[in-house]
A and B are shown apart, each in its own frame.
Chain A
């Protein structure tokens, strides 16, 4: 085996890449150790200058080698070097250019690389800005980088213990047992790669992972600052940078999560933007703890209270990011998540568990060692103080994250539970209502707090003023709630309260911004962020509560007002509707007609299904509205049977109509129609069709059809035909008959897609000098053979949700700007 010389392999990019992986690991480790030494020798004569220089140099080298790893892998992917497993696995020759980037993050190693890249970038910024905390924060950052580098190291310690998986593994090493790799010229047989999962061939997949991973990476910096503060025993200096980094993290991670939602909504057929899927939850949980920690940090900055819980929350946030990596990357979620992540075996599981254990131990030990000396305030806070309610809000967010984490982690704790109870635990059968029933209360409390808290001052507030202002807000919100609950027919009382809470949040923040802050931009951060948050709650409520399918299949539906049984719930789930070609079907207030399909061609392998939506005004008896939707699908994508569908959505200001194809006729199997021959003798002769008729207008030899390329010696003639459909509309078609070199007969057919009409110039029969007859062959597909199965959902007011996200992120940015400008730490009185 060793002796085989393989032909055509390009080994140097992989060797170079793997070399830089090792360099990045060594430099990160060196940097971490040097920074540690620098921190230890701060009190020394030279202040640990030598160590510091070495540590910085090592980190810069580390960042550079990550760029080199990226370049090497990018080279391999763009050059289609399929001797590398990564390129073979995730890319293919026909892939559109912009998705070459997506192949990076489709794979395990690529996403670790992306994560490392962001850490390196952020590390360089911290290096320049952390000043006297540099050595300590950077010790942690470089340490975590070294850990991440082990994930892509791919080094064997003995035959069974492997540390990490290198992205530069060769295909023949990844699949040693496959017989083709015993032939030295195996590369001649590996012509193309597997390509990117069609679900990921989407522009959201290009931008969503980088943003999400930047969000994940941003949690490391508050983590590092908290460790540094505990390590140094300085609980003042870390506040400002930690606050700024947490605000950035809240904004970016929040954006990343919602981009995932938008991706699911725009291009996956989950039928919504949020499904409480384990993978979504895994990124939401650290966001919740980050937001909670951010608020307790504000409490600490302003009142010197709540330091311990701040440390706990911010340290936990980063640990939870690792935990979410554990959940999503090891395949442990297996049967509970729709995200088809494949596990990388037990090696990764143990690797990640060791990392989480080590970081947890570090945080715990430091916290316990310093526990006694952490500054605490003996006195009680006032009930009418901002810190008191902020603290409660933070605890609520934290408890919410625990609930989500417990349910999401079912596969993790199920073996233990089985050992105790003997029952094999599974996720709730109705996941959505399981989470919604609990989290609606979190939304209510946090919604109310996000508005009310702005009116409270730190330490103590004037009850009268607060009461008066909140009274006005409550009154306005109550009126709005009544109107909206009535207008939107929100009849579940819990959701009526949530409606009030979100409207209260919106009214309170707007009123606060205008009448209390007088629109002073720099101070508007909290109000704007909270406004965005409350708008998100409102958007979620309005779009999900009245989300409904208009493609309801009502055939055989049993009307029963009794308590719903499982069978009836299933009936309600019947949201698929079959649409035969050209047969209009009522859908809500629209009439939907499937008109036909088309392919764009080129690298776009999708088939677009044209569906016309028409709304008739029954009183005016005319067409009030018309639009087309083009839900599309990959039919039989590479290595798969069946189809992979992408939705198409009609956006209105106040609602979305969301459609996708859940099934379509397989034309290769279902088209059973055959040609029938009709002979026409003279112009004016008629051929009758299923859905109209056709008149022969004579011959012509003026042919300008792109499909016919003239050649010398051709005798080409076309039959001019006028087709009239049942509405009397006339269209011209002209099938062509070619006699090439006086012996070969070829035909160019002409079709009318929307009438399912295929015509062929079958034969030219010359009877005498001036009489000839034509055999026109006609094939009409049975309209029942061409159909799509469509799901159409209406999401009302979903724009409120998207707008809320934009406002919230904008608010975070204002606060970030404010935090960065506040260089001098003056505790507010």
Chain B
């Protein structure tokens, strides 16, 4: 070690305790934010979700009305099947483990969360976008 250089204390000059703590906390927060980044999911299509069949994704699609929906609570109250088309236009059978969401017939978009298994998408969460009441053609016309 050349002469003339003195070892500084681990605590740099002018750093206050609060500043050190602040720094540590911010580093920890950044570490936490990065580590939970993996939690964030992504919007996929049926095809891309099928590449990793064990992982859950979100798929945005529309209800395919050319196929019949099936919900028979007497047989299984947690089993609702329907067909959906994703953004790429691919169609897939969807099994939802829950009751038939009300108004799904009217939905103009459905966001499904789940995973692909073979050619079926198993989903545990459905969110629908229904045409809003603002729609111009929906004035309720009563007879006078």
Interface residue A438 (Cβ < 8 Å from any Cβ of B): yes
Interface residue A381 (Cβ < 8 Å from any Cβ of B): yes
The answer to whether A189 touches B106, judged by C-beta atoms less than 8 angstroms apart, is no
The answer to whether A574 touches B97, judged by C-beta atoms less than 8 angstroms apart, is yes
Interface size class of A (residues with CB under 8 A): 35 or more
The answer to whether B40 touches A644, judged by C-beta atoms less than 8 angstroms apart, is no
The answer to whether A787 touches B122, judged by C-beta atoms less than 8 angstroms apart, is no
Sample of 6 A–B contacts (CB below 8 Å): A178-B136, A189-B142, A426-B58, A434-B36, A639-B133, A642-B102
The answer to whether A402 touches B29, judged by C-beta atoms less than 8 angstroms apart, is yes
The answer to whether A576 touches B74, judged by C-beta atoms less than 8 angstroms apart, is no
Chain A interface mostly helix, strand, loop or mixed?
A: mixed
The answer to whether A89 touches B40, judged by C-beta atoms less than 8 angstroms apart, is no
The residue that B77 contacts in the complex, of A188, A342, A391, A578, with Cβ under 8 A, is: A578
When distances are taken between beta carbons in the complex, the residues of chain A under 8 Å from B57 are 426, 429
Interface residue B17 (Cβ < 8 Å from any Cβ of A): yes
When distances are taken between beta carbons in the complex, the residues of chain A under 8 Å from B144 are 188-189, 191
The answer to whether B25 touches A396, judged by C-beta atoms less than 8 angstroms apart, is yes
Distance A641 CA – B69 CA, assembled complex (angstroms): 15
* Complex interface residues of chain A between 411 and 434 (CB less than 8 A to chain B): 423-430, 434
The residue that A425 contacts in the complex, of B33, B40, B73, with Cβ under 8 A, is: B40
Of chain A, the residue at the smallest CB distance from B21 is A392
* Complex interface residues of chain B between 90 and 117 (CB less than 8 A to chain A): 97-100, 102-103, 105-106, 109, 111, 113-115, 117
Question: What 0/1 readout, one digit per residue, does chain B (33-74) give for beta carbons within 8 Å of chain A?
Answer: 100100111110000000000111110100000000001011
Interface residue B88 (Cβ < 8 Å from any Cβ of A): no
Distance A555 CA – B115 CA, assembled complex (angstroms): 22
**Other A-B pairs beyond A553-B76, A553-B77, 16, CB < 8 Å:** A178-B137, A189-B142, A189-B143, A192-B140, A391-B18, A426-B40, A426-B41, A426-B42, A429-B113, A553-B78, A570-B97, A575-B78, A576-B73, A576-B77, A576-B98, A644-B102
Interface residue A334 (Cβ < 8 Å from any Cβ of B): yes
Once A180-B141, A395-B25 are accepted as A-B contacts, the answer to whether A640 and B40 lie under 8 Å apart by CB is no
Interface residue A373 (Cβ < 8 Å from any Cβ of B): no
The answer to whether B77 touches A425, judged by C-beta atoms less than 8 angstroms apart, is no
Of chain B, the residue at the smallest CB distance from A567 is B122
B84 to chain A, nearest CB (A): 14
Interface residue B132 (Cβ < 8 Å from any Cβ of A): yes
The answer to whether B36 touches A576, judged by C-beta atoms less than 8 angstroms apart, is no
When distances are taken between beta carbons in the complex, the residues of chain B under 8 Å from A335 are 60, 109, 111, 127, 129
When distances are taken between beta carbons in the complex, the residues of chain A under 8 Å from B97 are 570-571, 573-574
The residue that A426 contacts in the complex, of B43, B136, B142, with Cβ under 8 A, is: B43
When distances are taken between beta carbons in the complex, the residues of chain B under 8 Å from A426 are 40-43, 57-58
Of chain A, the residue at the smallest CB distance from B40 is A425
Interface size class of B (residues with CB under 8 A): 35 or more
The answer to whether A789 touches B132, judged by C-beta atoms less than 8 angstroms apart, is no
Interface residue A768 (Cβ < 8 Å from any Cβ of B): no
When distances are taken between beta carbons in the complex, the residues of chain B under 8 Å from A190 are 139-142
Distance A437 CA – B39 CA, assembled complex (angstroms): 11
Once A191-B144, A388-B18 are accepted as A-B contacts, the answer to whether A334 and B129 lie under 8 Å apart by CB is yes
Interface residue A124 (Cβ < 8 Å from any Cβ of B): no
B65 to chain A, nearest CB (A): 14
Of chain A, the residue at the smallest CB distance from B124 is A570
Chain B interface mostly helix, strand, loop or mixed?
A: mixed
When distances are taken between beta carbons in the complex, the residues of chain A under 8 Å from B29 are 399, 402-403
When distances are taken between beta carbons in the complex, the residues of chain B under 8 Å from A407 are 36, 40
Of chain A, the residue at the smallest CB distance from B28 is A399
The residue that B117 contacts in the complex, of A380, A567, A571, A578, with Cβ under 8 A, is: A567
Distance A434 CA – B32 CA, assembled complex (angstroms): 11
Interface residue A175 (Cβ < 8 Å from any Cβ of B): yes
Which among A571, A644, A662 has the highest number of chain B CB atoms within 10 Å? A662
Once A175-B136, A194-B133, A406-B33 are accepted as A-B contacts, the answer to whether A578 and B73 lie under 8 Å apart by CB is yes
B interface with A by C-beta (< 8 Å): 16-18, 21-22, 25-26, 29, 32-33, 36, 39-43, 54-58, 60, 71, 73-74, 76-78, 97-100, 102-103, 105-106, 109, 111, 113-115, 117, 122, 124, 127, 129-130, 132-134, 136-144
Of chain B, the residue at the smallest CB distance from A645 is B102
Of chain B, the residue at the smallest CB distance from A396 is B25
B142 to chain A, nearest CB (A): 3
B135 to chain A, nearest CB (A): 9
The answer to whether A641 touches B78, judged by C-beta atoms less than 8 angstroms apart, is no
Distance A739 CA – B121 CA, assembled complex (angstroms): 62
Distance A434 CA – B99 CA, assembled complex (angstroms): 25
When distances are taken between beta carbons in the complex, the residues of chain A under 8 Å from B58 are 426-427, 429
The residue that A175 contacts in the complex, of B17, B56, B139, B143, with Cβ under 8 A, is: B139
The answer to whether B41 touches A427, judged by C-beta atoms less than 8 angstroms apart, is yes
When distances are taken between beta carbons in the complex, the residues of chain B under 8 Å from A567 are 117, 122
When distances are taken between beta carbons in the complex, the residues of chain B under 8 Å from A558 are none
Of chain B, the residue at the smallest CB distance from A177 is B136
Distance A784 CA – B58 CA, assembled complex (angstroms): 37
Distance A644 CA – B99 CA, assembled complex (angstroms): 13
A196 to chain B, nearest CB (A): 11
Interface residue A565 (Cβ < 8 Å from any Cβ of B): yes
9 cross-chain pairs, A with B, having the tightest CB-CB distances, nearest first: A642-B102, A191-B142, A188-B144, A574-B78, A576-B77, A428-B39, A429-B56, A662-B99, A426-B41
When distances are taken between beta carbons in the complex, the residues of chain B under 8 Å from A192 are 140, 142
Of chain B, the residue at the smallest CB distance from A181 is B139
The answer to whether A640 touches B102, judged by C-beta atoms less than 8 angstroms apart, is yes
The residue that A565 contacts in the complex, of B54, B105, B109, with Cβ under 8 A, is: B54
When distances are taken between beta carbons in the complex, the residues of chain B under 8 Å from A338 are 127
Distance A388 CA – B17 CA, assembled complex (angstroms): 9
Once A191-B142, A565-B54, A574-B97 are accepted as A-B contacts, the answer to whether A428 and B111 lie under 8 Å apart by CB is no
The answer to whether A663 touches B40, judged by C-beta atoms less than 8 angstroms apart, is no
Distance A567 CA – B103 CA, assembled complex (angstroms): 26
When distances are taken between beta carbons in the complex, the residues of chain A under 8 Å from B21 are 392, 395
Distance A191 CA – B144 CA, assembled complex (angstroms): 8
B67 to chain A, nearest CB (A): 18
The answer to whether A428 touches B141, judged by C-beta atoms less than 8 angstroms apart, is no
The answer to whether A577 touches B122, judged by C-beta atoms less than 8 angstroms apart, is no
Of chain B, the residue at the smallest CB distance from A187 is B144
When distances are taken between beta carbons in the complex, the residues of chain A under 8 Å from B132 are 342
When distances are taken between beta carbons in the complex, the residues of chain A under 8 Å from B43 are 424-426
Of chain B, the residue at the smallest CB distance from A639 is B133
A506 to chain B, nearest CB (A): 26
The answer to whether A573 touches B98, judged by C-beta atoms less than 8 angstroms apart, is yes
The residue that A428 contacts in the complex, of B41, B73, B99, B100, with Cβ under 8 A, is: B41
The answer to whether B141 touches A189, judged by C-beta atoms less than 8 angstroms apart, is yes
Distance A423 CA – B55 CA, assembled complex (angstroms): 16
When distances are taken between beta carbons in the complex, the residues of chain B under 8 Å from A428 are 39-41
Once A338-B127, A578-B74, A642-B102 are accepted as A-B contacts, the answer to whether A429 and B17 lie under 8 Å apart by CB is no
The answer to whether A380 touches B17, judged by C-beta atoms less than 8 angstroms apart, is yes
The residue that A641 contacts in the complex, of B73, B105, B111, with Cβ under 8 A, is: B105
The answer to whether A89 touches B99, judged by C-beta atoms less than 8 angstroms apart, is no
When distances are taken between beta carbons in the complex, the residues of chain A under 8 Å from B39 are 428, 430, 434
Distance A547 CA – B63 CA, assembled complex (angstroms): 33
Of chain B, the residue at the smallest CB distance from A575 is B78
When distances are taken between beta carbons in the complex, the residues of chain B under 8 Å from A784 are 74
B44 to chain A, nearest CB (A): 8
The answer to whether A392 touches B25, judged by C-beta atoms less than 8 angstroms apart, is yes
Interface residue A460 (Cβ < 8 Å from any Cβ of B): no
When distances are taken between beta carbons in the complex, the residues of chain B under 8 Å from A429 are 41, 56-58, 113
When distances are taken between beta carbons in the complex, the residues of chain B under 8 Å from A430 are 39
When distances are taken between beta carbons in the complex, the residues of chain A under 8 Å from B129 are 334-335
